Structure 1
Amino acid sequence: MKFYIESLHLWLNDGRKRSLTFLPNKVNVITGGSHTGKTAILDIIDYCFFASRHRISESIINENVLWYGLCIHVNDKVYTLARKAPTGAAISNDYFFSPIGDVPSGPPEKNIEDNALKILLSADFGIDQDVKIPFGGRVLRAGSRISLRYFLMFNTISQDIITHSEQFFDKQDQARYQEALPRIFDIAVGIDSVENILKREKRTELEQRLTRLQRRSAKTEESRGAFYTELAETTAKAKSYGLIPEADDAEESVAMLERMVVDGETGSDLFVSGRHEEISSELYQISRKLRGLRKFLGEYTHHKNVLLETADSLKPVEYLLTNHKDTVRTSVFFDIIEKLADGLREIKAETSRKTPLDSNISELIKSLESRREQLQRDFDALPSGAEAFENQKDKYIFIGETKAKLEIFAGGDQGVSRDYSAEIEDLEKQIGDLSVSSREDRQEQFTSVLDETIQDYISLVKIALGNYGDYRSAFNYKEKKLYLRKPKTAFIENVGSSSNHMFLHLFLFLGLHEIIMRNDGNHVAPFLIIDQFSRPYWGDDDNGGPADAQSPEQRPKMDIKESDVAKVNSALNLLNEFIDIATDMNKEFQIILFEHIKPRYWESLENFHLVEIFSDGNALIPPTPLE
């Protein structure tokens, strides 16, 4: 990410415009005495970047300003954004924005909504709807959008924390920022990426779905057992009352119970007692038909046998016709013989041919016998000793209860019978296909690289650290704090003095920004605002320290050690060296430094740029012409 502040603008209520100009890839110094407005510049920059509350001094500064504005360079674009001055403690939501960096000569006018401007700048910081809070807290909700203001915690070392022994980041007295720091730290420094976060969120979602399915599957197995237990009890009870016959499986049992309910509601008498009568009646009718058919068939067979016997008794007629010459004939001989011969021929014809009656009767008997066998099996399957209801009311109450159970079974049957194995297998495959980098491994790697980077800074200023010059960097990832470790031990030293704490703050922030630049980070802007790191040595002295005292007599009164001057020079050289490190990486980095020391301390440092000296009446709010 590319970023630097080109200029800061204050539109005063007397019509004048106060401007300060900064250079990229430089340590921009504003120096001067106390109460001249140096620290207010940090508060003004913070206010322009959507602060929800402000710390701008009402006296002198805010009471004289109508609008505050910044001209910034972001990723090869130039923007001007301005915000109307607060009224007392109440902030303003009136913003002016120029996408080409135009700076109005007079007070700006509102031309954009704050949310629209936030979205626009957030996109330049690589923050979109996909970048969300990974886990929630008391104030921040998980899944809520990350504000670009959270990343600005990496861009300031205010006078409140420059020498703090416990806090290394600004705004940690506010719960919102206190919770935000551990939640955005990995994204800011490159431990994690948006792509990896989205994959992790997707995997978490899939794992949650998998867990739900596995629980549902286990519950289904449990419900299936309960389902069939209840079904078996209801079926057994129905059988005991003689309402349904035996069934081969659960599905058939359900079908029989449903039929029982339907028949009970429609008044059909398909209960066992009625079924006994129905089958018995049909068996009786079939038996009667069979008896009648068999009797008829017997008589028909007997008739044919009689005909055959008659045919046998008439066989002599054929002989007489053939041998009539040898017999004594009368006048009626031939008439009688012819009549008998005709009868014999008819009997032979009748007994020799098969009629449809023969086969039809046989088939009908077979069909009736088969039906009788089926009825007998159904009859045998009916309970022989069924319990009896006390009255019809009890019977229909049981039918109603069975109906209700069947409806519950029908409603839960999909869940009971559903097989989740294919869905579970598919989710497991999707989870396996998601390649998500381990944050824990990358956190360890980051800590190691950060300590290695900071160790180079420690070597540059080891003399200024005194007894701790040979100590090792020990960044505590969980606490987001930097400590010094005694060489070849695990012992963490309490460095004690505010001077050493000041150097620890510089080490940590410069180390973080170096790693962010090496990782081509696009969430943290490459600039750093430092407010008076020399305070541990000279406080807020207006005269700029002992080297600027006008006579030797003045120096003892100020009680400033020459070693403190060397420490300040070491810190200045460290900042100068960091700009060279950024340049060697083909990166640009801007430092804005508020101080009260004289320019002679950095005149030999090529990466320093004097913005202004606030002294002799010159201040952030200049005196009026009359004054």
Structure 2
Amino acid sequence: MKFHVESLHLWLASGETRTLSFLPNKVNVITGASHTGKTAILDIFDYCFFASRHRISESIINENTLWYGLKIHVNDKVYTLARRAPSGTTVSSDYYFSSIGEIPEKAPKANIQEPALKVLLGADFGIDQDVRIPFGGQYLQTGSRISLRYFLLFNTISQDIITHSEQFFDKQDQPRSREALPRIFDIAVGIDTVENILKRDKRAQLEKRLARLQKQLVKRDENREAFYGELAETTSRAMSYGLIADNSDAEHAVATLQRMVVERETGPESFVSRRHEEISAELYRVSRKIKGLRKFLGEYTKHKEVLSETADSLKPISSLRSNHADTVRTSVFFEILERLEEGLQEIKTEISKKNPLDSNVGELIKELEGQREQLQGELQALPSSGAIFENEKERYIFIGETKAKLELFAETNGNSSRNFEADIANLEKQIGELTVLSAEERQKHFTSVLDETIQEYISSAKVALGNYGQYRSAFDYKEKKLHLRKPKTAFIENVGSSSNHMFLHLFLFLGLHEIIMANGGQHVAPFLIIDQFSRPYWGDDENGSAKSEQPAEQDRDVNESDVAKVHTALKLLDHFISQANGMGKEFQIILFEHINPKYWEGLENFHLVEIFRDGNALIQGTQASS
């Protein structure tokens, strides 16, 4: 992403316009005395970027200003955005926007609504409108859109936090910003991507649907079990009244009870009578089959007996064949004898066959007899008459209760026809096809790379850190804080002084931006506003002299002086700009300070914007909040 601020504009009530100009790829310094409006510039920047409350000083600055505006370069585009000055503590909803960077000579006129401007700028910051807050909190709801303002947390180090021992990001006293930071951090630094977030969100939705389906499936089965438990009693009563024959099968019992309810208008005896007729008819058919099979079996047995008797009667044929010499023979004797022998052989063969017909018919008769016995038992179970209820009212009450239970079953079992198993399998397949990168592993990798990056800054500034110059970077991912770890131990040191905390803030933000640029980040703009990092050492006097600066004759070691520490911090910023340019990237720093320009002499990437002294201030000829 490319971004830099070209100029800041104040349209004053006097009709004049106050302009401050900045350069890209530079450390742009506004230095000067206190109460000249330096810090107000940071507040104005925040106000123009949709702040819902403001900290611009009412005295001198706000009371003399009609509109505030910025001319910015974003991804080779030039924009001007301006916002009407707040009225007291109430922020304005009036915005002016120019897509070609036009600066009105007189106070602008509102020409765009805030939501539309947010969408327009959000697109340049790579903020997809479909990307939502991944997890909610007390002030940010899950699923709410990610705001451009959340990423601006990476672009400012205000004087309120630059020496803070616990807070490293601005606006952490504001609940929404405090909750937003952990929710957008991974996207901002490149741990996560919009595509991966959308995939993770889709997977979460699919998993939610899957859990809901699985719960419905379990509930359906539980309801069915509960109903069939209730069904047992109803079925038993229906049997005792003779309304159904048996309850051996639950589904069959339901169908029978439903038919009973439908036919309740036909009278109390209709079902019993019809069932009696059905059983009687079936008994008759079964009995006919048994009788026919038994008759067949008897005839078959007689047939075999006749064959056996015939075989016995033909036994003398063998004697005739053996003694044919003693027999009076005719011309056809041997022909007749041969045919008789053939017939005898055929009979013997038929008799000797092992035919399963006997056993098959016997088994079939046995099975039919079992059916007949069951039908007879069912027939005996039916009442001989319809007088099974004390009165018709009792009959209709029972049928009504049964109908209500069946309707309740139909409601709770409404999804019984739905193929939950197929739907669940389909969702599991979709979830399996989504390749979502593990955020946890990438977080560990990022922390390791960030510590390596910051360690280089620690090494370059180790003299200013004194006893902690050899300590190791220890970024706390969960708390979003930078600590120093004693070498070869897990011990986290309490670095104590505000000077060391100032350096930790610089180390962290420079390290974050270096990684963001290396990853081609498109959500965090490559610029940084730093408000008075020299506060731990520098006085507010007009000359900008160091509080601890001593006369030369005292022969104080310059490496331990506050002047040297400030110079180390300035060289750190200068080196960062050079390093960014060496990566082929653009980066802009805007620095508010009290120090004298002589302290950055010789540093190639510094640009003096203005010196707010001797009557020169943000609002010319006045003294305002610093």
Which shifted more, 377-386 or 97-106?
Answer: 377-386
Letter in 2 for 1:17: T
For 1:79, what is the secondary structure of its paired residue?
strand
Change (3 A) 1:10 1:279: closer
Change (3 A) 1:162 1:413: closer
Letter in 1 for 2:72: I
- The residue number in structure 2 matching 1:11 is 11
- The residue number in structure 1 matching 2:241 is 241
8 Å Cα contact 1:245-1:382 kept in structure 2? no
Q: Distance in 2 between matches of 1:398 and 1:547?
A: 99
Q: Does 1:269 align with 2:269?
A: yes
- The residue number in structure 2 matching 1:434 is 434
C-alpha displacement at 1:592, in angstroms? 0.2
Q: Distance in 1 between matches of 2:433 and 2:279?
A: 65
C-alpha displacement at 1:247, in angstroms? 6.5
- The residue number in structure 2 matching 1:580 is 578
For 2:63, what is the secondary structure of its paired residue?
helix
Q: Distance in 2 between matches of 1:280 and 1:47?
A: 95
8 Å Cα contact 1:530-1:594 kept in structure 2? yes
Change (3 A) 1:164 1:414: same
- The residue number in structure 1 matching 2:38 is 38
Deviation per residue, 1:562-600 (Å, 9 max, x gap): 711110110000000000110111000000000111111
CA RMSD of the aligned region, Å? 2.9
Q: Distance in 1 between matches of 2:412 and 2:548?
A: 89
Letter in 1 for 2:563: V
Which 5+ residue runs of structure 1 have no aligned equivalent? 285-372
C-alpha displacement at 1:412, in angstroms? 3.2
- The residue number in structure 2 matching 1:99 is 99
- The residue number in structure 2 matching 1:565 is 563
Which shifted more, 241-250 or 153-162?
Answer: 241-250
C-alpha displacement at 1:194, in angstroms? 0.9
C-alpha displacement at 1:486, in angstroms? 0.5
8 Å Cα contact 1:74-1:124 kept in structure 2? yes
C-alpha displacement at 1:203, in angstroms? 1.1
Deviation per residue, 1:412-458 (Å, 9 max, x gap): 33434544221111111111111111111111111100000000001
**How many residues in Structure 1 have an aligned counterpart in Structure 2?**
532
Of the two, which has the highest radius of gyration?
A: 1
- The residue number in structure 2 matching 1:443 is 443
Which shifted more, 427-436 or 442-451?
Answer: 427-436
Which shifted more, 224-233 or 399-408?
Answer: 224-233
- The residue number in structure 2 matching 1:310 is none
C-alpha displacement at 1:235, in angstroms? 2.2
For 2:381, what is the secondary structure of its paired residue?
coil
For 2:528, what is the secondary structure of its paired residue?
strand
Q: Does 1:532 align with 2:532?
A: yes
Alignment match of 2:588 (pick from 577, 587, 590): 590
Q: Distance in 2 between matches of 1:382 and 1:456?
A: 99
C-alpha displacement at 1:406, in angstroms? 2.1
Change (3 A) 1:33 1:413: closer
Change (3 A) 1:426 1:562: closer
C-alpha displacement at 1:89, in angstroms? 1.2
Q: Distance in 2 between matches of 1:122 and 1:415?
A: 45
Q: Distance in 1 between matches of 2:238 and 2:394?
A: 13
- The residue number in structure 1 matching 2:611 is 613
Q: Distance in 2 between matches of 1:28 and 1:241?
A: 98
For 1:523, what is the secondary structure of its paired residue?
coil
For 2:413, what is the secondary structure of its paired residue?
helix
Q: Does 1:230 align with 2:230?
A: yes
Letter in 2 for 1:88: G
Deviation per residue, 1:24-66 (Å, 9 max, x gap): 0000001111111111111111111111111111111111111
Q: Distance in 2 between matches of 1:278 and 1:156?
A: 91
The within-5 A match list for 1:227-626 is: 227-246=227-246, 249-267=249-267, 269-272=269-272, 377=375, 381=379, 383-384=381-382, 388-416=388-416, 418-546=418-546, 563-623=561-621
Deviation per residue, 1:233-256 (Å, 9 max, x gap): 322221111122246633433332
For 1:535, what is the secondary structure of its paired residue?
coil
For 1:406, what is the secondary structure of its paired residue?
helix
Change (3 A) 1:542 1:266: farther
Q: Distance in 1 between matches of 2:546 and 2:533?
A: 16
Q: Distance in 2 between matches of 1:269 and 1:262?
A: 14
- The residue number in structure 2 matching 1:190 is 190
Which 5+ residue runs of structure 2 have no aligned equivalent? 285-370
Change (3 A) 1:575 1:403: same
Which shifted more, 515-524 or 201-210?
Answer: 201-210
Which shifted more, 581-590 or 377-386?
Answer: 377-386
Q: Distance in 2 between matches of 1:162 and 1:537?
A: 13
